[in-house]
């Protein structure tokens, strides 16, 4: 096994994102091992995805509520 990155796709509701997941990857099979720091990368990506989903939902509800409302954080 050797250190490297490989594309990984995370999905959350109707969104998904592909990112470079660091870890130990096997040359001969699709086996991979991830330490805590590696997993932290995927947790951060998932958090971003959740935040995007939330912002999108606010934007959608503002759009249907009428032009006088604006979306704020
Ligand atoms: Zn292997």
pLDDT 10s digits, 38-54: 999 999 999 999 999 88
- Would you list the DSSP string of 11-22? EETTEEEEEEEE
Tell me whether residue 56 is in a domain. no
Tell me whether residue 20 is in a domain. yes
Please tell me the distance from the alpha carbon of residue 65 to that of residue 4, in angstroms, as a whole number: 47
Higher per-residue confidence, 57 vs 1: 1
Residue 3 Cα to ligand 1 midpoint, Å, equals: 13
Q: Work out the pLDDT band at 14, boundaries 50, 70, 90.
A: confident
Residue 7 Cα to ligand 1 midpoint, Å, equals: 18
Domain that holds residue 26: 1-37
The structural domain count of the chain equals 1
Tell me whether residue 44 is in a domain. no
- pLDDT of 51: 93
State the average pLDDT for the chain. 88
Tell me whether residue 19 is in a domain. yes
Tell me whether residue 10 is in a domain. yes
Q: Are 62 and 71 in contact (CB under 8 A)?
A: yes
Place of tokens 């998932």: 46
Tell me whether residue 50 is in a domain. no
Place of tokens 């947790």: 43
Tell me whether residue 27 is in a domain. yes
Tell me whether residue 66 is in a domain. no
Residue 32 Cα to ligand 1 midpoint, Å, equals: 8
Residue 39 Cα to ligand 1 midpoint, Å, equals: 20
């Amino acid at each position: 096994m050797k250190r490297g990155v490989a594309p990984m796709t995370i999905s959350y509701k109707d969104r998904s994102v592909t990112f470079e997941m660091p870890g130990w990857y096997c040359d001969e099979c699709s086996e991979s091992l991830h330490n805590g720091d590696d997993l932290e990368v995927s947790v951060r990506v998932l958090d971003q995805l959740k935040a995007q989903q939330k912002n999108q939902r606010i934007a959608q509800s503002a759009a249907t509520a009428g032009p006088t409302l604006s979306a704020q954080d």
